[in-house]
């Protein structure tokens, strides 16, 4: 079959803005938040004014997501409380913060990963905390059996959907609709740091960077595998002193929950029968 190449990268030119790039690539300047940097992170409003000529950015194609999540991310009891609660006193805030900072669980967790998340939570920054493709948390996820099992299912779906397209000369990568299975990081199945930082995911996307297929029907997909998880504390999470403290600081103090966005760079390869 004929060779096919889809490359979503774009080299920034003089005078470009994220809006103008989105207009060129997506046909809609309002889609600029979908543009990603080389490390997989998306641009913030502040970043958008710091584009450099020659910089490579990606306008990826979403070919998969976690369908039918129970609640999605950034919502639910991990973020909100229906109770009318009194605010914490300054003394209570210090006491609860000490319970978190000096929890015995800290002795068995990777503090380089957990500590920045705790500090972000306690500062009340909220919003989205991005972990790019080089981040320690992203690397830990990539090596975890629950993720590897889910990724095998994703690769199988990609192969089967490509194979099912009747005319191999007319493969349309935009028709891929990959359903990312739910997965969780539980004790005994994954590193305890992942259980503490993420537990179960709230959302996921598969974003295509590049697609190639050669004359021998060998294909390759270069993708960002993006995972979303709420770092917040609901009522059911209050099963240890440190978690009880975190719940109180969130729902009665200035600490704010946030969305963890973990970005992995993965490649899917295979061969279609001729």
Q: Which two tokens stand for residue 6?
A: 């889809």
> Cβ atoms within 10 A of the Cβ of 211, count?
23
As a whole number of angstroms, the distance between CA 184 and CA 93 comes to: 31
Tell me: pLDDT of 105 over 90: no
pTM score over 0.85: yes
As a whole number of angstroms, the distance between CA 218 and CA 215 comes to: 7
Q: What is the pLDDT of residues 159-170, one digit of tens each?
A: 999 998 866 567
Give the model's pLDDT for residue 274: 60
Give the model's pLDDT for residue 85: 79
Are residues 228 and 97 in contact, defined by beta-carbon separation less than 8 angstroms? no
As a whole number of angstroms, the distance between CA 203 and CA 42 comes to: 16
The vertex-38 CA angle with 174 and 50, nearest 5°, equals: 115
Give the model's pLDDT for residue 234: 86
Beta-carbon contacts of residue 104 (< 8 Å; ≥ 6 apart): none
Give the model's pLDDT for residue 189: 79
């Amino acid at each position: 079959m004929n060779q096919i190449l889809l490359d979503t990268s774009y080299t920034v030119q003089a005078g470009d803005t994220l809006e103008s790039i989105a207009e060129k690539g997506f046909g809609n300047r309002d889609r600029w938040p979908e543009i990603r940097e080389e490390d997989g992170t998306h641009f913030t409003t502040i970043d958008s004014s710091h584009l450099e000529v020659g910089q490579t950015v990606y306008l990826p194609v979403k070919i998969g997501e976690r369908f039918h999540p129970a609640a999605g991310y950034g919502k639910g009891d991990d973020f909100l409380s229906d109770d009318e609660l009194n605010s914490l006193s300054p003394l209570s805030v210090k006491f609860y913060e000490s319970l978190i900072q000096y929890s015995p669980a800290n002795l068995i967790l990777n503090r380089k990963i957990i500590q920045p998340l705790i500090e972000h939570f306690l500062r009340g920054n909220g919003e989205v905390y991005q972990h790019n493709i080089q981040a320690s948390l992203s690397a830990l996820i990539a090596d975890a059996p629950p993720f590897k099992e889910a990724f095998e299912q994703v690769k199988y779906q990609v192969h089967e959907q490509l194979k099912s397209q009747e005319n191999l000369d007319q493969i349309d990568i935009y028709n891929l609709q990959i359903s990312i299975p739910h997965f969780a990081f539980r004790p005994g199945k994954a590193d305890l740091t992942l259980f503490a930082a993420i537990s179960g995911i709230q959302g996921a996307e598969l974003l295509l960077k590049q697609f190639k297929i050669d004359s021998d029907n060998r294909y390759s997909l270069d993708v960002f595998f993006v995972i979303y998880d709420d770092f917040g504390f609901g009522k059911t999470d209050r099963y240890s002193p440190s978690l009880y403290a975190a719940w109180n600081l969130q729902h009665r103090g200035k600490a704010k929950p946030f969305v963890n966005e973990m970005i992995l760079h993965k490649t899917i390869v295979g061969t279609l029968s001729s």
